[in-house]
Structures are given as C-alpha cells and as structure tokens.
Amino acid sequence: MIRWFAAILGYTFFRFPGAILGFLIGSLLDNLIGKKGSSFQQVFQPQQGDRVTPADFELNLLSLASLVIKADGTVNKSELDYVRQYFVQAYGAERANATFRVFNEVIKKRQVSAVHICQLLRSRTRYESRLQILHFLFSIANADGHVSNPEVAEIHKISGYLGVQFRDFESIKAMFFKNPDSAYKILEIERTATDLEVKAAYRNMAKKYHPDKLQHMDAAYQKGAEEKFRKVREAYEQLQKERGF
C-alpha cells in the first residue's frame, strides 16, 4: 500500500520522523485516492482556494508537532501519546491506530520547514485557529508535566511565522506556567492595571477565546478552545479574589 511505501522511503532518506511522516502522508493519500479518486499531483499541487484542505492541515499540524517534540533533543513518550490521543479524538480510533502504528516504532530526526508550513497556514486559516494551534503545541510540550526552554523557543518561532501577536503568545504561554504574574499575562494586562481595566481585559479575552469561534474546526480543537476559555476565567477569578472586588 502507498502508506507503507512512503514509510520505507521516509525511514531511508529522512531524519525525524521519516517513517512516521511518510506513513502519515501515505495514509492520507490512500484515503484520498480510495475515496475521492485523487492523485499524488492533486494532493500536492498549490491550492487555488483560500482555505487549507483537511488533508494538508493534518499533515502540517503533525509536522509542527514533530518540531516541538524534538526541540529539547529527546523524544518523550508522553508527548507522543498526547498527539496520538488528539488524533483519536479528532479522527477516530481506527484511523489513529493505523497512523501511529509506525509513529511509536520509528523515531528519527527530519528537517521540517516551519516557515513554509506557517506561511501556508497564515494565509489560509483564521487568526483564532492559529491561536489554537499554539495552544495545541504548548499542550504537547506540557504532556510530560514540564515545558522546557527549548520547547518554548521553538513554539515562539512558530508563533512568529504564524503571525500571532506577541501578547497573544505570552497569554497562551502563561496558561502553562504558574507564577505570580500568570493571571495578568493570561489577561494581557500589567500588574499595575486598575480593577476596571482587569474587568475590561477579562471581557476582551473571553470574547477572543470563546469556543464559538472554533465551531468550524473539529471536536478536539473545540475542546482546546474550552480549556483556553476556562484558563481566562480562572485568571480573572484569581484576580477578583486577590483584589477583593
């Protein structure tokens, strides 16, 4: 089958994770060719529309995930498991099991162009979708209970390529780090903000991260949006308690 041929090629010629991404690409091609009569050329030709196809989005997301997983020089099983669980939730157990059969067996290094991937996503996805991509990448890094500095640096680079504003990057990052300023960073305000400014910031962030903004995406992404929304609410409630209003 195409997926196994692609996996063999990936293992032979690439570094991280060659067989993994080869298998994933092959699986998607098998699916597209079998169900839609597509061809290799149709899958990889530049898209003419203003949206990323589901197959391309899945491949791009996995490629960005691989960059975060390898960022600190180690491949952590809990991070791999998190990615797999995401795909189970998003696409169903049968497809996920087939996809990650090779994902858990062959771990090598491979160069992935974050710039190229993010340019595509930046031009053809909504801003709130790109915010959710960042949350997903931080969730992968945090799967082992700790987000390392190299992982933060890698996600920061990806964030810049995606055109995400620095304050939004810092807001999402703060959701994974507990310190005295976390609540302020999540709400994108300074510690010197007045109570009225805190309330206004909460309203603004609640609108920005409201799950309804991701209704066009799959259930796994909507769950992530709910988690971001919950973090915003918790940050606001923490400041309410600290300030007594």
Sign of CA dihedral 31, 82, 61, 100: negative
Instruction: List the one residue out of 79, 65, 21 whose CA is nearest residue 155.
Output: 65
pTM: 0.73
State residue 38's pLDDT score. Answer: 35
**Amino acid sitting at position 1:** M
Radius of gyration of the chain (CA): 19
DSSP assignment letter at 191: T
Sequence-ordered alpha helix ranges (H) in 71-194: 77-91, 93-103, 114-124, 127-141, 149-161, 166-174, 182-186
Whose tokens are 């589901």? That residue is 54
State residue 242's pLDDT score. Answer: 93
Instruction: List the one residue out of 168, 166, 137 whose CA is nearest residue 154.
Output: 137
More confident residue, 150 or 106: 150
Lowest-confidence region among 22-31, 89-98, 192-201: 22-31
| DSSP-derived 3-state class of residue 20 | helix
pLDDT tops 80 at residue 3: no
Q: Which fold is adopted by the domain 2-164? A: TerB-like (1.10.3680)
Mean pLDDT calculated for residue range 17-39 = 42
2-164 with 174-245: one CATH topology? no
More confident residue, 93 or 5: 93
DSSP assignment letter at 125: S
174-245: CATH class: mainly alpha
Mean pLDDT calculated for residue range 78-82 = 90
State residue 58's pLDDT score. Answer: 72
- State pLDDT tens for residues 195-206: 999 999 999 998
pLDDT tops 60 at residue 112: yes
State residue 157's pLDDT score. Answer: 97
The encoded tokens of residue 140 equal 């992968």
Q: Residue 231 to residues 22, 164, 209, 236: CA-CA distances in angstroms?
A: 36, 19, 10, 9
State residue 177's pLDDT score. Answer: 93
Mean pLDDT calculated for residue range 172-196 = 95
What are the structural domain ranges in the chain? 2-164, 174-245
What's the pLDDT band for 41 if we cut at 50, 70, 90? very low
